[in-house]
Amino acid sequence: MSVKAAVLGYGVVGSGVVELFYKNKKSIEKRAGKEMEIKYILDLRDFPDSPFRDKLTKDFNDILNDDEVTVVAECMGGVEPAFTFVKSCLEKGKSVSTSNKELVAEKGDILLKTAKEHNCNFFFEASVGGAIPIIRPLHKCLAANDISKVAGILNGTTNFILTKMYNDNMPFDKALSLAQELGYAEKDPTADVEGHDACRKICIISSLVYGKHVYPKSVYTKGISDLELCDVESAEVLGYAIKLIAQVTHLADGRILPTVMPMLVSFDNIISGVSDVFNTVMVYGDGIDQAMFYGRGAGKLPTASAVLGDMINSVQHDNTVDSQYWESSSDDSFIASADELKGRWYFRLPAGTEFAGEGSYSSENGVSYVTEEELTFAEAKAKAVEMGALAFLPVLE
């Protein structure tokens, strides 16, 4: 008998899951080792012209109470009702794969625990980096490593905007409008440009790598909306691209330091070449030294590809718990303050400032340079005030 699946939410990602499933059904079944069928699609809207209209239901209970359904894809987004639906499915032993980063960042620990208790799987490869395989490689392939740092470009919208600022000298506002025109940015772009989306993703990575749930509210998050074009230009002259970097560092005392900030990335670092809507994740470990993952971080089929990969894995691991696991965290004492972030810093001082440092760049917009010494964020802030800096940004080390 074939495995019966359900898709919750028939928006961009959910419809992509259905489309890609039926396009590659034969090879998907070969890899899963069993025949598969999508039995239900949950959505409150009507899709009278959809070829899959006979699978559509508005009642979640149709899915929950159908014992034939053992594999579920959650593509609704948002915490509720997704959380309630996913938890109920897991409690019935149905494995769930999700693309919902908000859900995982807020409730991942609870859902992983529920899955484990009911001998099924909660997978979320699609929640970070879209099509890029990163969750499973971190969990499985790099499992032998002591991971010292993960740093990446985890938001395609801001990377598109930064690429336009860099390549075409387009100011932030204009680049954002273009991103909206092209459908890369939402009408309300706050979650992307202020870094909240990247923050959720680095929370998921941090929780996975260090084994304790990291909540978005514990992570210092700064977006790119007040980034000036002249800093992008100065950074280029100094040998850097500015990228919105979400990173987490493992400190010597065992605490972790996750941040989301625009950072200068040296042209010698391959991350600097990741442009447009592409995402990337760089992992630093004692075994691997460094490994990088790159691809489309969003979009209908790329995200669907990741959800389906997880669904196939659920079928392969029927009645075996293969999913990653992390503990709940009752406080955030294991998370260091962003003030402790240490590295070199970029400063732009007012034009005409007399400055004796080497390798500085002067223009009508000011005198820019990168410090040779490493400073903490707290020290850099104090220095910026002292020197009347017009801008200062960390360098990705």
In whole angstroms, give the CA distance from residue 154 to residue 390: 27
Q: In whole angstroms, how close is the CB of 312 to its own copies at the nearest point?
A: 5
Q: In whole angstroms, how close is the CB of 218 to its own copies at the nearest point?
A: 22
Instruction: Say whether the peptide bond before residue 81 is cis (omega within 30 degrees of 0).
Output: yes
- For strands 361-363 and 366-370, give the pairing: antiparallel
- Answer whether 202's CB lies under 8 Å from 258's CB: yes
Backbone angles phi, psi at 108, to 5 degrees: -55, -45
Give whole-number Cα distances, 229 to 144, 222, 298, 395, in Å: 42, 17, 26, 17
Nearer to its own copies, 79 or 288 (CB): 288
Nearer to its own copies, 138 or 193 (CB): 138
Q: In whole angstroms, how close is the CB of 305 to its own copies at the nearest point?
A: 3
In whole angstroms, give the CA distance from residue 92 to residue 211: 26
Nearest in space to 348 (alpha carbons), one of 396, 376, 380:
380
Nearer to its own copies, 226 or 286 (CB): 286
The pair of three-digit structure tokens given for residue 196, joined into one six-digit string: 């909240």
Q: In whole angstroms, how close is the CB of 378 to its own copies at the nearest point?
A: 31
In whole angstroms, give the CA distance from residue 189 to residue 180: 8
Residues making contact with its own copies (CB under 8 A): 20-21, 23-24, 27-28, 30-32, 125, 131-133, 136-137, 139-146, 211, 270, 273-274, 285-296, 299, 301-302, 304-306, 308-309, 311-313, 316-317, 320, 322
The pair of three-digit structure tokens given for residue 322, joined into one six-digit string: 């293969």
Q: In whole angstroms, how close is the CB of 285 to its own copies at the nearest point?
A: 7
- DSSP string of 39-72? EEEE-SS--TT-TTGGGEES-HHHHHT-TTEEEE
Nearer to its own copies, 23 or 58 (CB): 23
Options 101, 107, 201, 243, the catalytic residue? 201
Nearer to its own copies, 88 or 279 (CB): 279
The pair of three-digit structure tokens given for residue 307, joined into one six-digit string: 């959800």
Nearer to its own copies, 82 or 209 (CB): 209
Nearest in space to 161 (alpha carbons), one of 250, 248, 242, 96:
242
Nearer to its own copies, 329 or 353 (CB): 329
In whole angstroms, give the CA distance from residue 119 to residue 321: 6
25's enclosing H/E stretch is helix 25-32
Examine the residue annotation and report whether 201 is marked as an active-site residue of this protein: yes
Q: In whole angstroms, how close is the CB of 65 to its own copies at the nearest point?
A: 28
Q: In whole angstroms, how close is the CB of 314 to its own copies at the nearest point?
A: 11
Nearer to its own copies, 96 or 349 (CB): 96
Q: In whole angstroms, how close is the CB of 205 to its own copies at the nearest point?
A: 15
In the chain, what is the straight-line distance between the N-terminal and C-terminal CA atoms, in Å?
54
Nearest in space to 245 (alpha carbons), one of 338, 127, 369:
338
Question: What radius of gyration do the chain's Cα atoms show?
Answer: 22
- Answer whether 169's CB lies under 8 Å from 201's CB: no
Residues marked as catalytic = 201
